[in-house]
Amino acid sequence: MKRDMATPSSLDDITESEETDLCDWQLPLAFMKKRHLERIEGSKTVTQTWRMKERMKTVSVALVLCLNVGVDPPDVVKTSPCARLECWIDPLAMSPQKALEAIGGNLQKQYERWQPRARYKQSLDPTVEEVKKLCTSLRRNAKEERVLFHYNGHGVPKPTVNGEIWVFNKSYTQYIPLSIYDLQTWMGSPSIFVYDCSNAGIILESFKQFSQQREQEYELAQINRNHPSLHNNMPLPPPLKNCIQLAACSTTQLLPMNPELPADLFTSCLTTPIKIALRWFCCQRSAKLVPDITLELIDKIPGRLNDRRTPLGELNWIFTAITDTIAWNVLPRELFQKLFRQDLLVASLFRNFLLAERIMRSYNCTPVSSPRLPPTYHHPMWQAWDLAVDHCLSQISTVLQGSEYKHSPFFAEQLTAFQVWVISGSEMRSPPEQLPIVLQVLLSQVHRLRALDLLGRFLDLGPWAVSLALSVGIFPYVLKLLQSSARELRPLLVFIWAKILAVDSSCQADLVKDNGHKYFLSVLADPYMPAEHRTMAAFVLAMIVHNYPNGQEACLQGNMIAICLDQLSDPHHLLRQWLAVCLARIWTNFDAARWCGVRDSAHEKLYVLLNDPLPEVRAGAVLALGTFIGNCTERTDHANNIDHNVGLTLLNISQDGSPIVRRELSVALNEFVCQFESHFVMISMQLMEEEQKRQNELHSPDNLLPDDTGAFGGGSRKASTASLRRVNSTLPVSHSSSNLLNGPLSPLGSGSSAGSHSSSSLGSGDLLVPPSGGLFSPDKMRRIPSGASLSSLWAPSYGSVYAQVWKVILQLSNDPHPDVRDLCAKIIGAINLKASITAKPQRVKESRKTYSAPNSPTNRQLGNTYLDDSPPNDKLAIPHEIARPVALKPGEQPPPARPQNPAPIGAQFAHSHQFPRSRKLFDKGPSVSRTSITNTYEEAEEVMSHRKIEIQTEFASWSCKYFAQSVMKMPEEVDPESTLHHEREWRFVRDTKVRREAREQQKKAQFSRLDDQIFINKNQNVPLGICFHPYESHVVVADRDGISTWNWEQGAKLNHFYNGNVKPTRITSIDLLNAHDIPLLLTGSDDGAVRVWRNYSGENGKPHELVTAWQALTDMLPSTRGSGMVVDWEQESGMLLASGDVRIIRVWDTQREVRLQDIPTGADSCVTSLACDSVGRSLLIAGCGDGSVRLYDRRLAPQECRVMTLREHNSWVVKVHLQKGGDGNIISGSVAGDVRFWDPRFTESVNTINTVQSLTALEVHEQAEVFACGSANQLISVYNLAGDNLSTIKYHDGFMGQRIGPLSCMAFHQHKVLLAAGSSDSFLSIYAVDKKR
């Protein structure tokens, strides 16, 4: 692949540029995993139709034979000689009565071959009364099951057009007609009818007419209640669709009379198919190709029909496979299910009916059926049957002499055909006709391994393939195979079951019923089984226990929890993920499993996965810990301590780089909140009170502030509070609940930073110390003039588990990713709602009984705090009459029953909590009418009774999609024949061309003027960041909160969208990721949030999408002129460096989406610019606001990694740049205009160039030896590295002058010599080398 990209014929001729071209293929891609490319949601549920709505069984069989042996019916003229055999018996070879009984007995034996457990009743040469008695008796005993009526009318006249068949009178002197209408009545439904007589098609037509007539009569009777038939108890007509009919010939045809055939050819085909098929084969001309085959020899074929190892059994097996295959390929799916999968006897009869059609058509006789089947006699699979028969018969003479029988290659050949189909199979092609044969092969140990392997490959093609296989009847076969102990089948069966359950999870009940879960538990526990197969076993078990109590119980008994816990450290990431999901699902709403996990220290073992390299594994661990918290029904001290421990541990990952982990964390914390809801309501109530006090103070005459600098800092509300505001807008409390986040709690930072100088922490010594400065970061405090109540959450009353959890939930409610933000906003909204209602002034009902407050599960070391055993009296002023128990008055109703998990006093007695103070705050009191009091009380009870806050994610369902999709197929991105690969190859060729064309410009750049303005346009707002696409004619411009994309060649704006950072934060850095391939846009804002966007340019009509977002920096420090957040992207390693108004440089690994390290800057000022060595990947350079340039070695420990500080600049460092190549000089420039060149080995600069004053922007070209300086004095100067001023672009008035304002930002094109400049008047200009020069 690389060699194709190089144009020279030999590798010796490969130039440096072509080596770069080769590297395009090797560069890692960031944020291109499945979790980034698709929404985290499960597959749409598709209703599976393969399961039979109802299984049926033919339990009774009526054999009605009207032969009248020795007497031919008057309307049939028989040939001479004529076909005589009935059930392979010559009726003329014995007395008529004996012949009749022998034929009846033989017919019963032939049917018993297909359904041995049915109840058989013979009616030989019967009368009408005998048939009626027989049918009604069988229907009565069969109840709702199927009854078969077999009619042989060879000794009576043909059926009449009036819908009658013939039987006899008692003395056999007359033929008596029997109406099909009456037969329908006696037989009822469901039934199956077999008619072996001439003109049998007439019966089918009459049957249909009578059924329609019955239905019409019944409908008429229902309409007209006085209809006489209603008083005759007219039975409900049997539905025609539940009655199946098989007839030997059509309406005008006679049965074949060929003496070489039996007289009951149709019956023979239905009940003895192999025997008649072999005899018919011998009668064909093709049989002459097989010498010495006679009818007598056929009867000597050794073996039994039910023994597949014998010649006769093998033929029967092949016949079953072929007829099944023909039916599946020809019939509609629903009809196939009904006829070939619902009833064993019906399936056998219809398979044999296909043979009857083939044989009887050769004698100009066409069997018919209801429901009608399409013609199948010409299907190509019959040729395979002829070949199999030929193969068998050619050996018979030698086998009878003692030679060994050679088994037919039929199944091996059909598997090969199936394999060919699978190799190039797709949903667009017709289904493989061999699929039913594959199922038959599963019965054979010889071919089973290969058949399972091919079946697995077929199922891997996608959910459509699984549905096809289930429709053909795979399920009972693979379910039965779980009883096999063969180790070689384990990987194949686990794979097949994973595919089935990924498409149809309802199979869990079947598995548990047949103890199939034990099979997968043994596979999962087998250390010699490859990790991939154990992963599939874990997935199957996760599906078995999902929302299925019987499955949970069965797997718990099978020791699944211990098996999973033992393998949590397995190196295979997918196995770790599914072990975690398995554990999450087994103890969901299942307390016994939770306590089993407690005994095995499951939660502590899962903690290890919270630091896993893969986000999916971390998300799985959080899911497991969340359900672990959420299902405890009994609250004991032990349970509380465990939940506290888990809750605190989960808080450590609140700053995880992956949104899927933070989404699961939100759900897990919600489970914690639901378990201890009363405590969170109390916290919310106190916050609301303090917020109300603060608002009152702010609105007092002494503290009035201008509107634009109020408590909210000019609109610093987070976007997530909008939903809370809507929730709380209906509450009578006007400010308290909504301002919980709009006041000092609104601008939340998060996460601690090594080297951070902000000092504040929650006050519990042995509990998790929360991130310092996270809740009210000083960066946000500068926007909130009133800081009187900022210490709220730091007060001792909040130093508990609950306060720490609530703080993190508040932080996550301001998460840069909207999914995380919305989940936490729901939690906060629900708790605030309950807190508001709890705080309402509500009149005390005349109850005289109370309950004591429950013990708090918090640690006792907190002392007499607000969240300890009982709230302090000054916080909860409980009315005297409630505090003291008083006997009930006669007839007085007791108060509401105590809930299972009682809330604190204030929550139980919402009407009593802080009554006097609430009256003052909200101006409601005893003057409220009694009706409104009752309504308010009921409203509060209703809200407080809804304990569970239902939020959830689809992470587990999304993970299941992995098994529904192809896992064997080569991924499209690495498939050299895929469209994706060809598109990528085209992009890399384009990249090569751009680099080659730019190389000439780069050589001339150091001698050429760079002042030809090729583009100017006014941006939406003042540009704060500019980034060129290296290979397309796009330039991306960021302002405070928006992103614009311009085509600088055409001068057109391509797209504009908002970044999503809330006011007054602003975008301070942008960069392109994967610029060589499909680019993603990274934006960083001065609140520390990073967002990555797809389709940012809006090309091809695709809307922009947020790929990921996370809080790259926390604890942003306040400053009058901050740098915000600065980033440096390293495509080669996937590392993102972030710093700015903090005292650290944070290194993120975007592949794993985790923070790698925090490097203390050692400076008392902000970091203004970052650069790193992308080759050695150890050197890191930071320019600081105090004028210093600091060098760090990432390989050293955090406190030792600063290796050099360069201090020659005396003012703010605007830019640091590390040159690529052998020299590797550092270039830095400060606001004073001095640009210095440094050798990394020395502390003194090697060269200094004094440029423009008031330097606001400095850019160095990556390839060309030029740099540009932008000034606030409305000019741009371009220099070469020797210090020569190549050109200066100034502001000129007049029509022909350049339009340029004070420079806000600049950027060079990565390859071409193009300079983009943004100015404070919102104009964007692009300059190029003048081509004339």
Residue 748: per-residue pLDDT: 34
Distance CA 785, CA 795 (A): 20
Distance CA 512, CA 504 (A): 15
Residue 945: per-residue pLDDT: 58
Residue 944: per-residue pLDDT: 57
Residue 316: per-residue pLDDT: 94
What does the pLDDT look like over 1179-1230, one tens digit per residue?
A: 899 999 999 999 999 999 988 999 999 999 999 999 999 988 656 789 999 9
Note whether 1108 and 1116 are within 8 A (CB).
Answer: no
Distance CA 176, CA 156 (A): 9
What's the pLDDT band for 756 if we cut at 50, 70, 90? very low
Distance CA 865, CA 886 (A): 29
Residue 1241: pLDDT over 90: no
Average of per-residue pLDDT values in the chain: 81
Mean pLDDT of 688-711: 67
What's the pLDDT band for 636 if we cut at 50, 70, 90? confident
Residue 400: per-residue pLDDT: 85
What does the pLDDT look like over 1119-1130, one tens digit per residue?
A: 557 888 999 999
Q: Which residues, 6+ apart, have CB-to-CB distance to 1066 below 8 Å?
A: 1024, 1040, 1041, 1085, 1086, 1124
Mean pLDDT of 806-830: 94
Cα-trace Rg, the chain: 42
Residue 100: per-residue pLDDT: 94
Residue 1330: per-residue pLDDT: 76
What's the pLDDT band for 752 if we cut at 50, 70, 90? very low
Q: Which of helix, strand or coil describes residue 514?
A: coil
Question: pLDDT: is 1312 or 972 the higher one?
Answer: 1312
Question: pLDDT: is 59 or 702 the higher one?
Answer: 59
Residue 760: per-residue pLDDT: 33
Token pair 């360069």: residue: 1206
Note whether 1043 and 1056 are within 8 A (CB).
Answer: yes
What does the pLDDT look like over 110-122, one tens digit per residue?
A: 999 999 999 999 9
Distance CA 1232, CA 753 (A): 32
What's the pLDDT band for 1098 if we cut at 50, 70, 90? confident
Residue 610: pLDDT over 70: yes
What DSSP state is assigned to residue 174?
Answer: S
Q: Could you tell me how many residues make up the chain?
A: 1333
Cβ-count burial 427-455 (b if 16+ within 10 Å, e if not): eeeebbbbbbbbbbbbbbeebbebbbbbb
Residue 1220: per-residue pLDDT: 81
What's the pLDDT band for 943 if we cut at 50, 70, 90? low
Note whether 414 and 432 are within 8 A (CB).
Answer: no
Q: State the maximum Cα–Cα separation within the chain, in Å, rounded to a whole number.
A: 133
Residue 21: pLDDT over 90: no
Out of 218-227, 274-283, 1017-1026, 1156-1165, least confident range: 218-227
Residue 1178: per-residue pLDDT: 85
Of the chain, the percentage scoring pLDDT greater than 90 comes to 56
What does the pLDDT look like over 835-862, one tens digit per residue?
A: 988 876 544 443 334 333 344 343 333 3
Mean pLDDT of 711-730: 36
Distance CA 841, CA 920 (A): 10
What does the pLDDT look like over 231-277, one tens digit per residue?
A: 455 555 555 668 999 999 999 999 999 998 999 999 999 999 999 99
What does the pLDDT look like over 1055-1079, one tens digit per residue?
A: 999 999 888 889 999 999 999 999 9
Residue 150: per-residue pLDDT: 97
Mean pLDDT of 1320-1324: 91
Residue 720: pLDDT over 70: no
- Compute the C-alpha angle 1240/1246/1248, nearest 5°: 120
Mean pLDDT of 936-963: 74
Mean pLDDT of 876-895: 38
Out of 58-72, 223-237, 252-266, 1266-1280, least confident range: 223-237
Residue 291: per-residue pLDDT: 67
Q: Is the entire prediction scored with pTM above 0.85?
A: no
Neighbouring C-beta atoms of residue 1265, cutoff 10 Å:
15
Residue 727: pLDDT over 50: no
Mean pLDDT of 624-640: 86
Distance CA 99, CA 105 (A): 10
Distance separating the N- and C-terminal Cα atoms of the chain? 41
Top-ranked range on mean pLDDT: pick from 12-21, 681-690, 732-741, 743-752: 681-690
Q: Which of helix, strand or coil describes residue 168?
A: strand
Q: How far is residue 884 from each of residues 319, 846, 897, 1089, 1188, measured CA to CA in Å? A: 88, 13, 18, 54, 70
Distance CA 1064, CA 1046 (A): 25
Distance CA 825, CA 1251 (A): 51
What does the pLDDT look like over 378-425, one tens digit per residue?
A: 999 999 999 999 899 888 888 888 888 899 999 999 999 999 999 987
Note whether 895 and 849 are within 8 A (CB).
Answer: yes
Out of 161-170, 662-671, 732-741, 1318-1327, least confident range: 732-741
Q: How far is residue 948 from each of residues 399, 802, 1153, measured CA to CA in Å? A: 76, 17, 32
Going by C-alpha positions, the residue among 976, 1136, 988 that lies closest to residue 20 is 988
- Pairing type for strands 1275-1280 and 58-65 reads unpaired
Name the β-bridge partners of 61: 120, 148
Q: How far is residue 367 from each of residues 158, 356, 747, 1002, measured CA to CA in Å? A: 16, 7, 82, 86
Residue 327: per-residue pLDDT: 95
What does the pLDDT look like over 269-323, one tens digit per residue?
A: 999 999 999 999 888 866 566 667 777 888 888 888 888 889 999 999 999 999 9
Q: Which residues, 6+ apart, have CB-to-CB distance to 844 below 8 Å?
A: 879, 881, 882, 909, 911, 912, 915
- Angle of helix 448-459 versus helix 474-481 axis, rounded to 10: 120
